[in-house]
Structure 1
Amino acid sequence: MRSIDDLLTIMARLRDPDGGCPWDLEQDFDTIAPYTIEEAYEVADAIDRRDFADLRGELGDLLLQVVFHARMAEEARHFAFADVVEAICAKMVTRHPHVFADAAADDAQAVAASWEAIKRRERAADGDTDTSALAGIARGLPEWQRAAKLQKRAASTGFDWPGPEPVLDKLQEELDEVRAEFAAGAGRERLTDEIGDLLFVCVNLARHARVDVSTALRHANAKFERRFRRMEALAAEAGSALAGTPLDAQERLWDRAKAEERAG
């Protein structure tokens, strides 16, 4: 059975200027970062599909990303993989005083509150003078995720709707504003602003429903793909291509694909 040391050795060999891999040697933090994000999403996809054989492989791919970044950092004399392990171990111990010290936390909500309080103290100790409830939310997050974090932090101060009903009312209000902009022939800047407001409220609705936005959108994407592919198959069975089928006929194919899926 191979160990993490074997993976570190392989990565070092790939990055060795003397006989290493030309592709791996050309990479830097900026070029590898998109692969890191992609691998994280592939892990989430395997979990969503409950494909644990695939999850094993995807977790390996994600681990490789950590090792790759650590190797480049070691080459630049910033830090090594051992420092990454030390840092995360120290963080986990520090941020779980209810497990590793004598603090108390009765439920997951209390743990989350303690975690955020410890993070604030850590930022202050590092000289961060931003005391806003919104401090420390990374700007590199996918925007839907950053929206959810902004809303959650704001809610921790009491700035929140009491339930989903007023969020639904706000959603209708924002939708009406988008309709009005279209009717007025608004330009891209105005539409970007209003559609952004609409999407922000959609994220808030998901938060109130305790639904992960990414998971919901993945399900919607998968459902659309299944039904669209079935439309293509139905058109092919009828001896035609979907691209040449009139819109009203395409809509009937869509309805048929939906009905088949629900019946199945």
Structure 2
Amino acid sequence: MAETPTPEAALSRLLAIMARLRAPDGCPWDQLQDFQTIAPYTIEEAFEVADAIRRGPDFPALLDELGDLLFQVVYHARMAEELGHFAFTQVAEAISDKMVRRHPHVFGEAAARDAGAQVAAWEVQKAAERAARAETGALAGIPTNLPALTRAAKLTRRAARVGFDWPDAAGVLDKLEEEAAELRAELPKADPSRLADEVGDLLFVLANLARKLDLDPEECLRGANAKFERRFQGVETRLATRGLTPGDTSLEEMESEWQAVKKAEKQ
């Protein structure tokens, strides 16, 4: 059995492979890429890591997906190095410095180890880092390219830290009903911009409600997506036993099959 390489050797090999791919005599596709073209792959790989974790975790898949995600970091670092900005080693040093800085209760002289103290220290450090970057305001530093539901939850969580929040989930539900009524009032006018605005408000309040209930709105929606997919496929399977497809049946028939699938799931 071959010996397991050291972390340093494994990382050096990966960095060398990345450099070779981007070299003048390397891969034509890799040579053409830049930060903008690679960024969507980076986001996709992060979601695939999360999906592997969600499936158990599925450790063989997680091993593979973590490698893909690491390659994305190496890719961006290599492109930055080619432009003379920074190299992978600086990326690693920067995150190491940040983790030490944000954990004074572990790496500093402070002995406090409770979770509350850790969270407080973390937030103090992040606020200082935002100030150093001239990012002001309670909502500063929340990335604009996060999934919209996740960003909505982060925005409301940050606002809640300074007291801008409902006292309980019931208050958010009241706001949800208010927004639903506003959307209903816009339906007869059918103004696309107004409808988009009201639907956005409704989604934002739903993300806030999930946050208030200590739920991840993205996870909630993923669960709802999976449930819909599973149940609709169940409808298709039931129709297929009669030689039918959804296109061959009425909405009433599909609704009947849908209810049958739901009932079967509960048994």
Stretches of 4+ moved more than 3 A in 1? 103-110
Give the drift of 1:107.
4.0
Matched, 1:161 2:189: no
What corresponds to 1:207 in structure 2?
211
Matched residue count: 259
Give the drift of 1:70.
0.9
Amino acid in structure 2 at the alignment position of 1:29: F
> Matches of 1:240 and 1:109 in 2, distance apart?
58
Matched-pair contact (CA < 8 Å) for 2:106–2:113:
no
Amino acid in structure 2 at the alignment position of 1:76: L
Instruction: Work out which of the residue numbers 238, 258, 261 in structure 2 matches 1:257.
Output: 261
Identity value in percent: 59
Matched-pair contact (CA < 8 Å) for 1:174–1:194:
yes
User: Pairwise mapping of residues 88-167 of structure 1 onto structure 2 (< 5 A)?
Assistant: 88-103=95-110, 105=112, 107-126=114-133, 128=134, 130-167=135-172
What corresponds to 2:42 in structure 1?
36
What corresponds to 2:73 in structure 1?
66
SS of the residue 1:79 aligns to: coil
TM-score normalised to structure 1 length: 0.93
> Matches of 1:41 and 1:86 in 2, distance apart?
25
Amino acid in structure 2 at the alignment position of 1:103: A
> Matches of 1:26 and 1:11 in 2, distance apart?
14
Please give the per-residue CA displacement for 1:224-254, whole angstroms capped at 9, x wherever unaligned. Answer: 1111112111111110112221111111111
Matched, 1:241 2:245: yes
TM-score normalised to structure 2 length: 0.92
What corresponds to 1:193 in structure 2?
197
CA RMSD, 1 decimal: 1.5
> Matches of 1:104 and 1:231 in 2, distance apart?
59
Amino acid in structure 1 at the alignment position of 2:143: A
Segments of structure 1 that go 5 or more residues without pairing to the other structure are none
SS of the residue 1:151 aligns to: helix
> Matches of 1:110 and 1:160 in 2, distance apart?
23
Q: 1:258 to 1:119 in 2, by over 3 A?
A: same
Give the drift of 1:136.
1.6
> Matches of 1:107 and 1:160 in 2, distance apart?
26
User: Pairwise mapping of residues 49-88 of structure 1 onto structure 2 (< 5 A)?
Assistant: 49-50=55-56, 51-88=58-95
Q: 1:87 to 1:171 in 2, by over 3 A?
A: same
Give the drift of 1:140.
2.0
Which sits farther off after the overlay, 76-85 or 138-147? 138-147
SS of the residue 1:131 aligns to: coil
> Matches of 1:9 and 1:25 in 2, distance apart?
15
Q: 1:12 to 1:161 in 2, by over 3 A?
A: same
Q: 1:119 to 1:69 in 2, by over 3 A?
A: same
What corresponds to 2:17 in structure 1?
10
> Matches of 1:108 and 1:253 in 2, distance apart?
49
Matched-pair contact (CA < 8 Å) for 1:16–1:25:
yes
Segments of structure 2 that go 5 or more residues without pairing to the other structure are none
> Matches of 1:119 and 1:165 in 2, distance apart?
31
Please give the per-residue CA displacement for 1:76-126, whole angstroms capped at 9, x wherever unaligned. Answer: 111111011000000000001111113365543442332222122123334
Q: 1:71 to 1:123 in 2, by over 3 A?
A: same
Q: 1:155 to 1:169 in 2, by over 3 A?
A: same
User: Pairwise mapping of residues 165-176 of structure 1 onto structure 2 (< 5 A)?
Assistant: 165-176=170-181
> Matches of 1:165 and 1:192 in 2, distance apart?
25
Q: 1:185 to 1:71 in 2, by over 3 A?
A: same
Give the drift of 1:32.
0.5
